[in-house]
């Protein structure tokens, strides 16, 4: 195709459309940087009046690809160029159908920018407007060009589903995903790369967000079937990534042997990949599969590598680093290095268990998968605590963990619902919406940063990384100010949404006290967890004699109470639920 483009340029033939297709192909093959270079070159060559129609599509692609590379400044700059060009185009002598295409290209870019900033309602509206406009354009498009407009229209429908899922509107999201898939099937059939690459991954994402792992796995396997039928190479990036998704879905269903076989197939397919490419495929699911198929030593080595990589990319306190650290802890526990494992768990689990409450990692990081992985890691942590020689201290540490995992999803949903219900005044409603919008924007920025940092170094623009990190810091500061204003002016509302504060941990300690009290009544022990100051008081009272309550003043069998002792023995224990006790 490039040869044909070169010949066309020498003969002064319009080859702009062919150059667009080359850019499409680079993007579909996973080479984002080359795709960007192709559209930048096309934009430079389309400044003349005869070629300026190509600018809208080129600017839209430059903005989209720049988002993928983490360069938000460039993405926003080209969106503004497109908006300015649209204003200028109002005076161009072009048919109305072409003007609608121009508007559709701009709405597409607006939707992407809104989504990446976490402004989901506006993103949804922009995608909807783009869908309507592209549908109208299809009505006046020649058959030879219809396929590209059908693809982008269905992309907009599926994108609406994705942002609706991020807002928790799963039924609507699934309806959009199914509508986009049905359009693809009606247009080009099942065995088409655009069906596999544009719509199916978004549909699988919507199912995954709901914890419907089996259905999501079936859909991803259909992607693989399409790739194999169309002759996509075993080591092609798109095929390997789909296979990695299958393995993760198997791990989330705790199908460890099946997951191990899938990972073996990935290793075979990527034999010729360089070490950096292979490292980017490693995740928590792969490590857990190794542990659960008796490859503990290999799993621990892999976990340590992932931890080092995560610390370098995300820092010590990021949730991705916490997951990697917890994976190391699981391996250490399985190799009976209990003390080291406990230290790693105690550093990792508070971050993981508050991830759904913190604005850094809200439900945009796949809520269902987060809950499942957190549960698996917490079970390993509690199993390790069960081996402790200090059962009271272990109980104090275990119950808040179990309660946090069990109640987190319901608690968050009820809290947000209750918070919305008390937002009765206009000022409170405005502040509440502002606080929640900032939370979503921070989440979206972290999601972008995570995706950007997972790219090869040569495809990253380090100044853009620093700018994105500073943008996140500014948003977090603004969010903190919004929280403080809510706390000062509307303390009742603030108490409902304050999920990540130490108050939240104190409430878990209170629940732990109740739970431990109930469970340990079977034994002659009562545990009272204190005020989470880092120390708590455990009180032991011999309460039963031969299975019946001891009468007042009656001694427990075999007890030798010192003079002045009222039957209570006080012991200082650590309250592990409180971060200050770690």
* 3-class secondary structure per residue, 405-420: HHHHHHHHHHHHHHHH
Min mean pLDDT across 50-64, 115-129, 195-209 is at: 195-209
Which residues face 538 on adjacent strands?
527, 571
Q: Token digits for 209?
A: 């967000």
Give the pLDDT score at 444. 75
Give the pLDDT score at 324. 94
Mean pLDDT of 505-525: 34
Q: How confident is the model at residue 407 (pLDDT cuts 50, 70, 90)?
A: low
Task: Report helix, strand and coil shares of the chain as percent, to nearest 5.
Answer: 70, 5, 25
Q: How confident is the model at residue 231 (pLDDT cuts 50, 70, 90)?
A: very high
pLDDT at 420 over 70: no
Q: Token digits for 352?
A: 């993981």
Using a pLDDT cut of 70, give the percent of the chain over it.
Answer: 75
Give the pLDDT score at 445. 76
- Residue 104 CA to residue 119 CA, distance in Å, equals 19
Give domain limits for the chain. 95-216, 423-500, 520-581
Q: Which range has the top average pLDDT, 239-243, 387-391, 534-538, 562-566? A: 239-243
Give the pLDDT score at 364. 31
Query: Which is more confident, 245 or 440?
Result: 245
Give the pLDDT score at 376. 85
Give the pLDDT score at 518. 30
Q: How confident is the model at residue 502 (pLDDT cuts 50, 70, 90)?
A: very low
Min mean pLDDT across 34-48, 316-330, 396-410 is at: 396-410
Min mean pLDDT across 1-15, 70-84, 241-255, 420-434 is at: 420-434
pLDDT at 126 over 90: yes
222 phi and psi angles, rounded to 5 deg = -65, -40
Give the pLDDT score at 145. 75
Mean pLDDT of 414-421: 46
Give the pLDDT score at 230. 92
Contact between 569 and 540 (Cβ < 8 Å): yes
Give the pLDDT score at 87. 96
Q: Token digits for 298?
A: 């290999």
Round the average pLDDT of the chain to a whole number and report it: 77
- Residue 498 CA to residue 435 CA, distance in Å, equals 12
pLDDT at 565 over 60: no
30 phi and psi angles, rounded to 5 deg = 95, 5
pLDDT at 391 over 70: yes
Give the pLDDT score at 451. 64
Give 296-323 pLDDT, tens digit per residue.
Answer: 999 999 999 999 988 887 788 888 899 9
Give the pLDDT score at 554. 45
Give the pLDDT score at 450. 60
Mean pLDDT of 456-472: 74
- Residue 496 CA to residue 325 CA, distance in Å, equals 31
Mean pLDDT of 230-252: 92
Mean pLDDT of 198-220: 88
Query: Which is more confident, 106 or 207?
Result: 106
Contact between 183 and 157 (Cβ < 8 Å): yes
Give the pLDDT score at 326. 95
Q: Which class does domain 95-216 fall in? A: mainly alpha
pLDDT at 521 over 80: no
Min mean pLDDT across 199-208, 249-258, 418-427 is at: 418-427
Q: How confident is the model at residue 396 (pLDDT cuts 50, 70, 90)?
A: confident
Which residues face 569 on adjacent strands?
540
Whether pTM > 0.85 for this model: the answer is no
- Residue 405 CA to residue 179 CA, distance in Å, equals 35
Q: How confident is the model at residue 531 (pLDDT cuts 50, 70, 90)?
A: very low
Q: How confident is the model at residue 363 (pLDDT cuts 50, 70, 90)?
A: very low
Mean pLDDT of 171-180: 87
Mean pLDDT of 350-377: 63
142 phi and psi angles, rounded to 5 deg = -65, 150
- Residue 380 CA to residue 386 CA, distance in Å, equals 10
pLDDT at 499 over 70: no
């Amino acid at each position: 195709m490039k040869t044909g483009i070169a010949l066309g340029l020498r003969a002064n033939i319009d080859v702009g459309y062919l150059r667009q297709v080359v850019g499409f192909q680079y993007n579909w093959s996973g080479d984002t940087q080359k795709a960007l270079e192709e559209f930048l070159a096309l934009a430079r060559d389309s400044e003349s009046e005869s070629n300026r129609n190509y600018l809208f599509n080129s600017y839209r692609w430059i903005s989209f690809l720049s988002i993928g590379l983490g360069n938000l400044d460039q993405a926003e700059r080209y969106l503004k160029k497109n908006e300015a060009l649209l204003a200028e185009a109002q005076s161009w002598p072009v048919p109305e159908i072409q003007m609608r295409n121009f508007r559709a290209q701009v709405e597409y870019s607006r939707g992407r920018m809104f989504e990446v900033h976490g402004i989901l309602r506006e993103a949804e509206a922009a995608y909807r407007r783009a869908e309507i406009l592209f549908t109208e354009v299809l009505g006046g498009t020649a058959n030879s060009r219809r396929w590209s407009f059908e693809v982008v229209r269905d992309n907009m429908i599926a994108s609406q589903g994705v942002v609706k899922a991020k807002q928790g509107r799963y039924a609507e999201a699934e309806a959009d995903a199914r509508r986009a898939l049905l359009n693809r099937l009606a247009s080009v059939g099942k065995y088409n790369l655009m069906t596999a690459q544009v719509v199916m991954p978004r549909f699988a994402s919507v199912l995954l967000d709901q914890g419907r792992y089996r259905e999501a796995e079936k859909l991803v396997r259909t992607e693989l079937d399409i790739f194999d039928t169309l002759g996509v190479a075993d080591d092609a990036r798109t095929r390997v990534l789909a296979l990695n998704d299958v393995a993760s879905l198997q791990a989330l269903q705790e199908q460890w042997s099946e997951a191990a076989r899938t990972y073996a197939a990935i290793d075979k397919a990527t034999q010729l990949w360089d070490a950096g490419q292979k490292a980017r495929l490693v995740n928590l699911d792969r490590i857990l599969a190794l542990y659960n198929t008796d490859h503990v030593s290999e799993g621990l080595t892999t976990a340590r590598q992932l931890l080092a990589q995560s610390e370098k990319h995300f820092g010590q306190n990021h949730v991705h680093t916490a997951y990697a650290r917890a994976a190391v802890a699981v391996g250490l526990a399985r190799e009976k290095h209990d003390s080291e494992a406990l230290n790693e768990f105690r550093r990792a689990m508070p971050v993981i268990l508050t991830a759904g409450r913190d604005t850094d990692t809200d439900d945009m990081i796949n809520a269902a998968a987060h809950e499942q992985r957190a549960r698996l890691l917490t079970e390993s942590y509690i199993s390790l605590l069960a081996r402790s020689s200090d059962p009271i201290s272990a109980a104090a540490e275990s119950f808040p963990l179990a309660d946090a995992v069990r109640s987190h999803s319901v608690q968050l949903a009820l809290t947000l619902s209750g918070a919305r219900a008390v937002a009765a005044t206009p000022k409170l409603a405005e502040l509440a919406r502002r606080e929640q919008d900032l939370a979503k924007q921070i989440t979206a920025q972290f999601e972008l940063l995570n995706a950007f940092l997972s790219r090869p170094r040569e495809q990253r623009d380090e100044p853009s990384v620093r700018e994105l990190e500073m943008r996140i810091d500014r948003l977090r500061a603004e969010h903190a100010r919004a929280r403080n204003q809510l706390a000062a002016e509307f303390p009742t509302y603030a108490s409902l949404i304050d999920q990540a504060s130490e108050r939240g941990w104190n409430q878990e300690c209170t629940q732990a006290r109740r739970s431990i009290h109930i469970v340990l009544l079977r034994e002659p022990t009562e545990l009272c967890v204190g005020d989470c100051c880092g120390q708590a008081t455990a009180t032991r009272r011999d309460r039963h004699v031969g299975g019946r309550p001891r009468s007042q003043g009656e001694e427990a069998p075999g007890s030798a109470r010192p003079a002045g002792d009222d039957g209570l023995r006080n012991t200082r224990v650590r309250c592990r639920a409180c971060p200050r006790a770690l």
